[in-house]
Structure 1
Amino acid sequence: MSLEFAYPWVLALLLVVPLLAAWRFMPRFRRKNVGTFVFSRAATFKKLNRGWRRYLEPVPDLLVLIAITLMVVALARPQAVEAEEVEVEGIDIYLALDMSGSMQAIDKDMSEVEAMEARGDKPKSRFESAVDVLQEFIGSRKYDRIGMVVFAKNAFLQFPLTLDYNTIDGMLDRLKLGDIDPGGTAIGNAVGRAVAGLKDSDTKTKILILITDGDRRGGNISPMQAAQIAKDLDVKVFPILVGKDGPTLVPVRVPSFFGVKNTYRQQKFPINPELLEKIADKTDGEFYRATDAKGLEERIHTILDRFERTRIKDASNVDKQELFRPFVIWALVLLAAQMTLRYTLLRKFP
């Protein structure tokens, strides 16, 4: 078991605590308080015995500083992390998911969409269907390490190779179109970044499943350059072209008398199956087409069931226990104690 912080950068606020302590306990860092009464012979009062309360005077300020420290630690969300290391037989898989603007398309005709909306159902976009399929796919895996890259105008690592399927599922659930710049389809960058994540893999089988619905647009690495790198590292690329041919429906919001209305317009997006076939041939993979969510799911399982497994060690069943509550409770207790002391035993005149 180890201790981690969900937001470790919040701990930088702890630097404020010693500054507050210096301001409070070192008079040269602040203006001295001026007494309510002014005496011509203050030396007389210095000789008086102030009693035991004088030793308690710094306590309220100390309690506040400790409470601030505890609250900062609580805001950083401390977590007890327990990961079970297992040795299993599996393969290393990277997923590259297209998040370009064309993935908002809905592969249904208008009559189907109207029938769904009449039943109170919302038609799913290519992206939403792909995420559903990937979540079901990950739920069916047991011993395969999975990593993921998302791409549009550029490509980004979503998570590295892991057996922690719960974390993967949660990250997929939070993905939304628009999280990254949708103005492009950088297929070469996506393949290159995924291959980099598989470079140090020691399994016999390393594969990349590339899910896209369009042609290459943008990116500073050409798809074939990235395919050559994949071939050199013995990574097999399996492109899956999702969506149907021809014009498709795209949701749009238009102003109306009652505010904003959701409607659809037809649009055709460029595709390049020949490019995806070349990438597959170059890396000894295979090119697939999937016109709907069911077809995508079938293609993914077809790809994986043909490969040899390798024994690997990794962390599985990662359990995170939140620890911030005791820090908050003790901070509130200390603040309550500070107020009690300030307005009872250490209450000043009047």
Structure 2
Amino acid sequence: MIHSAPLVASVGFAHPWVLALLILVPILGIFFIAPRFRARRQPSFLFSATGRLAERPRGPRVVLDPLIDLAMLAALAAMIVALARPQTSEPLPTAVEGIDIFVALDMSGSMRAIDLDVSQARAIEARGQRPPTRFEDAVRTLREFVATRHHDRIGVVLFAQDAFLQFPLTLDHELLDASLADLQLGDIDDSGTAIGNALGRAVAGLVDSQAESKLIILITDGDRRGGNISPLQAAEMAAEIDAVVYPILVGREGNALMAAGRDIFSGRTAYQSAEFPINPELMTQIAETTGGQYFRAFDARSMREDLHEIIDAYDRSELEDTKSVRYQEHFHLWALLSLLLLSVHFFARHTLCRTFP
């Protein structure tokens, strides 16, 4: 069994916005308790001379009267807290057989390329659709891949000019899928391709993994440009923790299309041809350093096949993760406290501190 970090329960509210009503408590407190805001009451008995009354000892009502008002305010505060539904949440461990996988996804500017001919792109536009970019193909394929890996922990690193941890290892594939769906080119600086930094981030995410199989899938369409860690140095770091790197070089060979705004005459998308440098030799070296294999994916289908070929060759380990959460409600305690304080207020106001007409 591979144990995750200790599970810690957290405290929160199901409806935290209800707590804004607590502002009513000090406002009512000023009205009920502050003497300068309290209305003067008409005395129940009229005396021709009141001097002797001041000599008499004060009764318990002088002390109880403001405390009764405080009980009512406390009851109101407790009821508001109860309506906000205080609860504790505790992550529940999930034990499965799986693999620890980190995906390093290229978000450089070249991923805007479209691996189609102009005629193919126009045919797609004629159907009312937009030709997909390399990045969109990669994200869609990756989302499909995540949906099929029910028992594998998956993390994601995004990279271009630098590398960033998008998601740590998790079995919560629904949340991971939502995160991938929100990705857009331009979310990070796309002026580079820091392959070494991306591999380094992925290695850092796997360094504490005790799974028998630790994989890094590098999805990129070009050569290294930028970054302060060389790809081969990062590959050696991966080999030290027994992580295997599988580079997948996406995109077709030769020129690709790049959208270049709108044609001023036809109103259709204008395309220009561009060629981006690739380095299959570097990809091969990275794979061989870690005992992996280099793949070449010319389209989304071949990329999908490559991903499953990589994963299906590995044994599973018994993993533990916190996918589901157990909630425990505590509103009933606050509701009971509120009812108790209201009962005290009602009893005292109509017995000990009753006002006679």
The alignment status of 1:313 with 2:322, answered yes or no, reads no
CA positional deviation for 1:114: 1.6
- After superposition, the Cα gap between the structure-2 partners of 1:124 and 1:53, relative to the gap in structure 1 and judged at 3 Å, is farther
The alignment status of 1:123 with 2:131, answered yes or no, reads yes
Amino acid at match of 2:251: G
Q: Distance in 1 between matches of 2:156 and 2:284?
A: 21
- After superposition, the Cα gap between the structure-2 partners of 1:63 and 1:153, relative to the gap in structure 1 and judged at 3 Å, is farther
What's the secondary structure of 2:187's corresponding residue? coil
CA positional deviation for 1:304: 1.9
Aligned to 1:285: 292
Q: Distance in 1 between matches of 2:108 and 2:233?
A: 21
Whether the 8 Å CA contact 1:249–1:264 is kept in 2: the answer is: no
Q: Distance in 2 between matches of 1:210 and 1:5?
A: 39
Q: Distance in 1 between matches of 2:94 and 2:146?
A: 19
Q: How does 1:8-23 map to 2 (within 5 A)?
A: none
Q: TM-score, normalised by structure 2?
A: 0.70
The alignment status of 1:209 with 2:220, answered yes or no, reads no
Residue among 94, 98, 117 paired with 1:85? 94
What's the secondary structure of 1:239's corresponding residue? strand
Whether the 8 Å CA contact 1:149–1:193 is kept in 2: the answer is: yes
The alignment status of 1:237 with 2:237, answered yes or no, reads no
Aligned to 1:185: 193
The alignment status of 1:94 with 2:102, answered yes or no, reads yes
Q: Distance in 2 between matches of 1:322 and 1:244?
A: 50
CA positional deviation for 1:63: 6.1
Aligned to 2:45: none
The alignment status of 1:273 with 2:280, answered yes or no, reads yes
Deviations 1:26-51 (A, max 9, x none): 99xxx9857889xxxx9999x9999x
Q: Distance in 1 between matches of 2:151 and 2:173?
A: 10
Deviations 1:88-109 (A, max 9, x none): 2x33221111112221222112
**5+ long unaligned stretches in structure 1:** 338-350
- After superposition, the Cα gap between the structure-2 partners of 1:300 and 1:7, relative to the gap in structure 1 and judged at 3 Å, is farther
CA positional deviation for 1:203: 2.7
Amino acid at match of 1:114: R
CA positional deviation for 1:116: 1.1
What's the secondary structure of 1:180's corresponding residue? coil
Whether the 8 Å CA contact 1:251–1:262 is kept in 2: the answer is: no
CA positional deviation for 1:140: 1.9
- After superposition, the Cα gap between the structure-2 partners of 1:79 and 1:223, relative to the gap in structure 1 and judged at 3 Å, is farther
- After superposition, the Cα gap between the structure-2 partners of 1:224 and 1:120, relative to the gap in structure 1 and judged at 3 Å, is same
CA positional deviation for 1:231: 1.9
- After superposition, the Cα gap between the structure-2 partners of 1:240 and 1:62, relative to the gap in structure 1 and judged at 3 Å, is same
Residue among 171, 180, 183 paired with 1:172? 180
Whether the 8 Å CA contact 2:262–2:270 is kept in 1: the answer is: no
Q: Distance in 2 between matches of 1:5 and 1:290?
A: 47
Runs of 4+ in 1 over 4 A off after TM superposition: 1-8, 19-27, 31-37, 42-45, 47-50, 52-74, 78-82, 252-257, 320-324
Aligned to 2:306: 299
- After superposition, the Cα gap between the structure-2 partners of 1:53 and 1:289, relative to the gap in structure 1 and judged at 3 Å, is same
- After superposition, the Cα gap between the structure-2 partners of 1:23 and 1:131, relative to the gap in structure 1 and judged at 3 Å, is same
Q: TM-score, normalised by structure 1?
A: 0.71
Deviations 1:4-61 (A, max 9, x none): 47999x99xx9xx7x997898699xxx9857889xxxx9999x9999x9866644675
Q: Greater CA radius of gyration, 1 or 2?
A: 2
Q: Distance in 1 between matches of 2:127 and 2:88?
A: 44
